[in-house]
Amino acid sequence: MDKFLTMSALRRVVQLTAFVFFVYGAMIFTTFYTGDKLTQALPALSCAYDMSGGDFCTLIPLQHQMDHRVSTVFTQGADLMGAIMPTLITVATVAVLILVLNKAFCGWLCPLGFFQETLGMIGTKLGLTQVISLSRETVLKIRPIKWFIFLFFVLIFPILTGIGLLGHEWGSPFCSICPSRMMTTLATGDMSQVYISQAGWGYTLLSLIADLMFGLMIALALFVRQPFCRICPILPMQTLFKKIGLLRLVKNGSSHCEGCGNCIKACPMDIYEIQEVAANDNITHADCTLCGRCIEFCPHDGVMNFKYGPLTIHSSSNQGFKKRIKIDKWWKG
Amino acid sequence: MKKTFLSLLLSVTLWGYGEGTVFWAPKPSDTGEKANAKHGGHGMGETNMFTAIGLEGNGSATLRGPDLSLISLPMEGDTLTLPKSSMGGYYALVFKQHTAEQINTAIRYLSMQGRPVKISPTRLIALPKADLEILPHPLHREHDRYTASKAYRFLITFRGKALSSAPIILETRNHSSLTSISDQNGIVEFTLPNDFHAVRIGKSDNKPSEFLIQTHYHDTEALYVTTFSMPYHPNPNDYWQSQRLGAGAIVLGFLGGLFIYRRTKSKGVKRG
């Protein structure tokens, strides 16, 4: 039994529990109504379209606020503080949540992240050859996409909609293309979100992107680790506050790290920067999901660490590395 | 003159609909552009004037707020105007009328914009508002709306207890009618009929219609009659959204992913 007691095993248990809560939580813990959801500004892709969910993602209120409130500064000359106050409250809620768990919302709690990881496990068991790491060039090309989506699909398009320069469908364009909307609703037996709209070119375009991307994500997740997470606009949102996060990835590699590259191979987001020399530095990258795999697969004692405030809560060790490699071999057969 | 004409127009439109009962409906002058909110579920554009249709004699109206506070509303004949409120959320508009033989109640839920309160809508809905009551189970969610072709459940209660075997009638202003009986838990389920005509493509281009659910219960003291009325909208998936095409696009995306898999395999990308 001891051989299964690893951080990955703990993470799977937490992810499964979080999945149940965020997809079906309204049946037990909260209620059907949005006003009763846990935080209403979760920095993870838990969808409000899922009526049974326990909470919903911060991008939904943000888009609505841009569309209905922030835009009034331009259209009605509304008082700036009044117009941005709801946004400030949402952002402050995110900041508090990031302070507590930092980017672990992605690696430990996000239902869409867990769904993709589960597909990856299925792909491995189906015998599909897995892409261990994308090339550094590919990673660098993909990284700006999440910022583009965040800036345009979460902030700019909704504001332009509120101003009247874009049609209503651009009021919450990220929700319209988000794969979590489909995954969570389908998980509750609701098929209503699978459609192509013919209500206008904007509706058609957004619904087409949503469906194609959902299908593509499922196929890619079978052999590439966490394909959608790489372009998820929650990452930029979290990055704004990652400096204040108490939980962080700290590398102390000046004396022991030999640059073996195990950490990069282990990283599901292909963050090449974690291999670089660091002396007791916070290396929580903008793309990091704090999954902790780099700690597990680091063969050196005390080089990679999870720290919570001043406390070291988990460190890499040669013993842990050997154990993790053994489990990995067993899992891959 | 205008008021008389609009009342006459509403009476003709609703001929046969909810006959013999009292129910809330938006005031006729507000059933057009205002009620046809561009962005449903926010309380935006919704009317603030309601008429107790079928009212004969006098009755009283109250408004239960999202914070569960209760205020009496003065009626002008069969019509009332809602007061302005800074609280956002669901409100329950309740009409009561006691006659010698019959006790009539009519309930309608409204969504208004404003500062949210920290009280769950479940408490507002569960709070007894009349002896005989039709409770939405649940009420449609904030930012949502009652939609045709979707199934909704309702709980029938009498003095706070579930009422089984109660006869229930659902009627729509588009001339559909359904009947059912509450089960042993007092629950009844209806799929709102897809009975819209000349539906225009696009969510915001269609005016909502109204549905009305009524039930009655006769005990030793009196006959209790209650109604629950709400607007409902065409279902986009019945008209301008194709679920088959949606499923097809997902399959296409999936095949695209498999194509990438084959391509990366042949290019010899690093693998485990």
Query: What pLDDT band is residue B18 in, cutting at 50, 70 and 90?
Result: confident
For A248, A307, B25, B43, the CA distances from A98, given in Å and listed in that order, are 11, 14, 47, 32
Q: What is the pLDDT at residue A3?
A: 66
A218 inside 8 A of chain B by CB: yes
Least CB–CB distance from A212: residue in B38, B252, B269: B252
Size of interface A-B (CB pairs under 8 A): 137
Kindly list the residues from chain B whose CB atom is less than 8 angstroms away from the CB atom of residue A52. Answer: none
- ipTM of the complex in this document: 0.94
- pTM of the predicted structure, to 2 decimals: 0.89
Subunit contact B256:A219, Cβ cutoff 8 A: yes
Q: A242-301 pLDDT, tens per residue?
A: 999 999 999 987 666 777 889 999 999 999 999 887 777 899 999 999 999 999 999 999
Least CB–CB distance from A199: residue in B39, B141, B203: B203
For A178, A240, B72, B235, the CA distances from A175, given in Å and listed in that order, are 5, 21, 41, 19
Q: Using alpha carbons only, give the angle A169, A148, A200 rounded to the nearest 5 degrees.
A: 20
Q: A97-129 pLDDT, tens per residue?
A: 999 999 999 999 999 999 999 999 999 999 999
Section A128-157 average pLDDT: 96
A13 inside 8 A of chain B by CB: no
Identify the helix (H) or strand (E) that includes residue A294.
Answer: helix A293-296
Tell me which residue of B153, B155, B115, B121 sits closest to A37, measured CA to CA: B121
pLDDT at B33 over 90: no
Query: What pLDDT band is residue B145 in, cutting at 50, 70 and 90?
Result: very high
Whether B156 and B133 have beta carbons less than 8 Å apart is answered as yes
Least CB–CB distance from B243: residue in A33, A194, A217: A194
Q: Which of residues 216-255 of B touch A (CB under 8 A)?
A: 236-237, 240-243, 245-247, 249-255
Average predicted confidence (pLDDT) for chain A? 94
pLDDT at B40 over 70: no
Distance between first and last Cα of chain A:
18
Cα–Cα dist A44/A25, whole Å: 15
At A101, the amino acid letter reads L
Query: What pLDDT band is residue B12 in, cutting at 50, 70 and 90?
Result: very low
At B166, the amino acid letter reads A
Q: A155-203 pLDDT, tens per residue?
A: 999 999 999 999 999 999 999 999 999 999 999 999 999 999 999 999 9
Query: What pLDDT band is residue B6 in, cutting at 50, 70 and 90?
Result: very low
Whether B131 and B152 have beta carbons less than 8 Å apart is answered as no
Cα–Cα dist B131/B223, whole Å: 11
Section A309-320 average pLDDT: 94
Q: B233-267 pLDDT, tens per residue?
A: 999 999 999 999 999 999 999 999 999 999 987 76
Query: What pLDDT band is residue B14 in, cutting at 50, 70 and 90?
Result: low
Cα–Cα dist B202/B234, whole Å: 10
Cα–Cα dist B190/B210, whole Å: 14
Kindly list the residues from chain B whose CB atom is less than 8 angstroms away from the CB atom of residue A211. Answer: 246-247, 249-250, 252-253
Which backbone phi and psi does B6 adopt, to 5 degrees? -65, -40
Q: B80-137 pLDDT, tens per residue?
A: 999 988 899 999 999 999 988 899 999 999 999 888 898 999 999 999 999 999 999 9
Query: What pLDDT band is residue A313 in, cutting at 50, 70 and 90?
Result: very high
Q: What is the pLDDT at residue A279?
A: 78
A125 inside 8 A of chain B by CB: no
Cα–Cα dist A155/A66, whole Å: 6
Q: B49-94 pLDDT, tens per residue?
A: 999 999 988 899 999 999 999 999 999 999 999 998 889 999 999 9
Q: What is the pLDDT at residue A331?
A: 84
